[in-house]
Structure 1
Amino acid sequence: MTAIEITRTPPSWIARHLPGLALTFTIATVATVAQRLTGIAALSPLVVAMVLGIGWRNLIGTADTARVGITFSLRRILRFAIVLLGFQLTLLQLRQVGVPGLAVIAVTLAATFCFTTWVGRLLGVEPRLTQLIAAGTSVCGASAVLATNTVTRGTDEDVAYAIACVTVFGSLAMLILPGLGGWLALDSGHYGIWIGASVHEVAQVVGAAFQHGPEAGQAGTVAKLSRVILLAPLILTLGALARRRGDDAQGSAPMPWFVLGFIAVVLLNSVMPLPDAARGAVVTLTGFLLTVALAAMGLETDIAKLRAKGIRPLALGAIATGFIVTLALCLVHLV
């Protein structure tokens, strides 16, 4: 083989992806270690990784050689992590919540998504960013934002802004709602379902629900995981609507096949649950891979473009959070 032929030989898959993967995995590791060292359960490694990624991109800069691996982290690794998320859910959890609890969760989720979309239109927030904020608020925070963007196709700045919104207001809800629940004199079960149906991130739900005891904590966690299951039909619906419109500049939205994988894993986990040791390992792996995806998102985010979004999306996040908290509380009392 001549020297010219050697130089024209395409680099291997590993060589092309390694720089970006090394960067995203390193940031994810630092974020995970930082959370464990602080011991603050509500300090999500996902958010820490995104912030670190944004700092790296805007202070140091991202080398061109890393972009392929970063893109792989943001797409392939993210979708694989969402499929693995199914191992944390079972159909039995839906039964534990009960029909009234499921009604509260489903109605709250659907109403919040529709309400947020409507208010976003009134405020003049860009439709893609509005949908991401609506998904993050109504379903499960950062994970829902990332998953929804596979069909919404917002910019990296849209995703970063939406995650910032659900993180800030979810954290505020985690701090405020336990005191409000005590003042309202809710019993443990009702309080837990209220928290699980309204607070954004799983970690935030755990932090808020267990403040009223183990029964409330268990009810809140199960309600929240039941709410996460509804992420699948939401993404499938949004994808179908986007394909029907066909108005995306890059073509119609792709079929989110990974969501079908997520559903299949939930069904499998319902009939053949993993042993406790294996389940713990899968939960840890899933969280870390989502953290890797958030690190990649941060590395793709330009602060100047993020600042240009203005304050209206932040106001939308605040209004959406107030709506879901109030509606869930009303439905818990009624049902």
Structure 2
Amino acid sequence: MTLISSRERARPSRSTGRPSNKLPGLAMAAAGVALSWGVHRLVPAVPMLTAAVVLGIAAAHLPGVRALVRGAGRPGLTLAGKRLMRAGVVLLGLKLGLDDVLGLGWATVVMVLVTVVATFFGTLWLGRRLGLRGDQPLLIATGYSICGASAIGAVSEVSGSDEEDVATSVALVTLCGTLAIAVLPLLHHPLGLDDAQFGRWVGAGVHDVGQVVATAQTAGPTALTEAVLVKLMRVALLAPLVAAVAVAVRRRRAYDAEAGAGAGAAEGKRPALVPLFVLGFLAMVVVRTTGWVPAAALDGAQHAQELLLAAALFGLGSAVHLPTLVRTGGRVAALGLCSWAVIAGVSYGGVLLTT
């Protein structure tokens, strides 16, 4: 099974317009962040990042606004979806210290690894069988197994994925993660889980960090602590996954060049094995591990990371075209539900076996 679809998608050309051409889109992204923050303040159960995606999708379809989104605002919104996503991923590394991961114990680490591998390859295989377009199976598998939209954005940078594939994948993963906030707490006691077990299950099975926090906090501080630690262990796997995808892209392009299937692939820029923003993520993990960063600085970095990711997700949400999504909606929904069942089932079994 290959990580990259047989039909390699060309990376969209970068905009060569003046910086001022991006200002309308960036202003829209900033407004989207402000509205997302307001929604989260009014309804704390709705994470700001989830609200940002939904508002971005809404902006792309509202009469009077959609013309701006698809026209003058597009360059800035695309910039937000790419560049601000990278910056947010870098700051995400400050949430993770190596001592936190080691403190989980090897049994939990193995459980997380098994869950991630089973979810990633299971989702990728099923997506190919369902015939989803382009890189959607790869991106959805990444989002479900690692850390939602942040992982999708990181992998799309090295896979050269089409912006519409990225937006559709983000919308699906965000939708299922949002449903988890309402559904999983109802299963806490029926499944016979204590608070710590429930927290680990949520951390291993829910996609985005914000969604993990919103779901686990319903069971109290013990569940929340366990959930965040397990979730950050999954986040730590982002760097090796991005490197693996970069290797797969290189091999695919080399194969296409040798077979004469596409000179463009041979002439295109080879993706770095580990992109700079992933190196930045790893550097932030090391910085956090040293313990030298004051708590106030970590809090500030967390707020900055949330704002950057919210702007990026608003930009990605604005690229969703619902009529196109509806045409493949049945297959996409089937993949999402099956993948959700896999990660929930495998992580539940893992929690029971390791506690």
Return the TM-score normalized by structure 1: 0.89
Q: Does 1:300 align with 2:303?
A: no
**CA separation in 1, counterparts of 2:319 and 2:158?**
18
Aligned to 1:5: none
Aligned to 1:190: 197
Return the TM-score normalized by structure 2: 0.84
| Structure 2 unpaired stretches of 5+ | 1-15, 257-261
Aligned to 1:47: 50
Instruction: For residues 171-210 of structure 1, give each alpha carbon's deviation from its aligned partner in whole angstroms, at most 9, with x where no partner exists.
Output: 3333332332312322333222121111112222223323
Aligned to 1:177: 184
Q: Which moved more, 1:220-229 or 1:317-326?
A: 220-229
Q: Does 1:332 align with 2:351?
A: yes
Q: Does 1:57 align with 2:63?
A: no
Flag as ranges the 4+ runs of structure 1 deviating above 4 A: 11-14, 247-250
Aligned to 1:79: 86
Per-residue deviation, 1:14: 4.5
**CA separation in 1, counterparts of 2:23 and 2:279?**
29
8 Å Cα contact 1:151/1:253 also seen in 2: no
8 Å Cα contact 2:171/2:317 also seen in 1: no
**CA separation in 2, counterparts of 1:98 and 1:128?**
35
Aligned to 2:12: none
Distance 1:17 1:125, change over 3 A: closer
Q: What are the residue-to-residue correspondences of 1:149-160 with 2, within 5 Å?
A: 149-160=156-167
Specify which structure has the higher proportion of helix.
1
8 Å Cα contact 2:145/2:343 also seen in 1: yes
Fraction of identical pairs, as percent: 37
Per-residue deviation, 1:252: 6.2
Aligned to 2:333: 314
Per-residue deviation, 1:72: 2.1
- Alignment-mate amino acid for residue 145 of structure 1: I
**CA separation in 1, counterparts of 2:175 and 2:270?**
29
Distance 1:307 1:293, change over 3 A: same
Aligned to 1:264: 283
**CA separation in 2, counterparts of 1:71 and 1:211?**
36
Per-residue deviation, 1:317: 0.6
Q: What are the residue-to-residue correspondences of 1:136-285 with 2, within 5 Å?
A: 136-246=143-253, 251=268, 254-255=271-272, 256-285=275-304
8 Å Cα contact 1:158/1:306 also seen in 2: no
**CA separation in 2, counterparts of 1:163 and 1:57?**
15
Per-residue deviation, 1:125: 1.8
| Structure 1 unpaired stretches of 5+ | 1-10
8 Å Cα contact 1:141/1:166 also seen in 2: yes
Instruction: For residues 220-263 of structure 1, give each alpha carbon's deviation from its aligned partner in whole angstroms, at most 9, with x where no partner exists.
Output: 11111111111111111111111211159764662222111111
**CA separation in 2, counterparts of 1:167 and 1:65?**
27
What secondary structure is seen at the aligned counterpart in 1 of 2:125?
A: helix
